[in-house]
Amino acid sequence: MRQITLGLAAAAALALAAPALAQTRAQGATVQVVELYTSQGCSSCPPANAAVAQLAARPEILALSFGVTYWDQLGWKDTFAQKKFTDRQWDYAKGLRHDNVGTPQVVINGRLDVVGQSVPEIDSALKRAALVAGGPAVRLSAGNVAIAGAAPRRAADVWLVRYDPNIVQVPVKRGENTGKTLPHKNVVRELTRLGDWNGGVRTYAVPAGPAGLKTAILVQAGPGGPILAAAKG
């Protein structure tokens, strides 16, 4: 009886969520995802950091800065880098059919990548790889996220991202950027897979995040695949 009750409650919740998600799809602007892969030890990265920081001010763009680890042995350990971010960049290398990874790299909606050292360069890529209306609707609220839409070709991954919206100044004491203080914005601090999405309406619990960090959701067609939809809190 307990299992039946829970099943009916879940069905009722999904039925109530569906109209709100349809309204979200109709009224909400499509969020474009710009991912920067960078390192504080890379002398070519500051222009890309600045370009992505400038784009972060646009409400329709979710700009995320991922610190990678493979520069750490070359004189300066990146203070934001995590192995899972390096792994994510390698997933893109496979998905975009690259033989290697490098910094800086800007990935647009998981569909196209550029070096990304200027805003015009990234804007041009956005025009070629823009998400358009018609993808799954994502509604992010306190404590949960709901996703609704037609079934994708294969199960999609739902990612929870926590990032720092402030500009963080990092003094670099060794390596290629010795003596420079590098500004970073929208630095990703947490990346957690919430589960699969196979179409229809589904909700996922979103735990409370650390103070000062913002929350975003990515719906992605597998590791290194295209972004299907995104939302930011």
Per-residue pLDDT of 12-21, as tens digits, reads 444 545 555 5
Which residue numbers in the chain have pLDDT < 50?
Answer: 1-14, 16, 24-27
Question: Residue 13's pLDDT is what?
Answer: 41
Domain holding 182, by residue range, is: 2-232
- What's the half-sphere exposure (Cβ side, CA atoms, 13 Å) at 52? 33
Backbone angles phi, psi at 49, to 5 degrees: -55, -45
Q: Where in the chain does DSSP place strands (E)? A: 32-38, 61-67, 105-108, 112-114, 137-141, 144-149, 156-171, 181-197, 200-205, 214-220, 227-232
Q: Rounded to an integer, what distance in angstroms lies between the CA atom of residue 158 and that of residue 194?
A: 5
Instruction: Give the sign of the dihedral formed by CA 186, CA 190, CA 193, CA 199.
Output: negative
Measure Cα distances from 42 to 2, 74, 125 in Å: 57, 9, 23
pTM value?
Answer: 0.89
Q: Which residue has the tokens 């590791």?
A: 223
Question: Residue 19's pLDDT is what?
Answer: 53
One-letter amino acid identity for 181? Answer: T
Provide the edge-to-edge strand list for the sheet that holds 112-114: 112-114, 105-108, 32-38, 61-67, 181-197, 156-171, 214-220, 227-232
Here the tokens at position 184 are 């970073």
Number of domains in the chain: 1
Q: Rounded to an integer, what distance in angstroms lies between the CA atom of residue 70 and that of residue 101?
A: 10
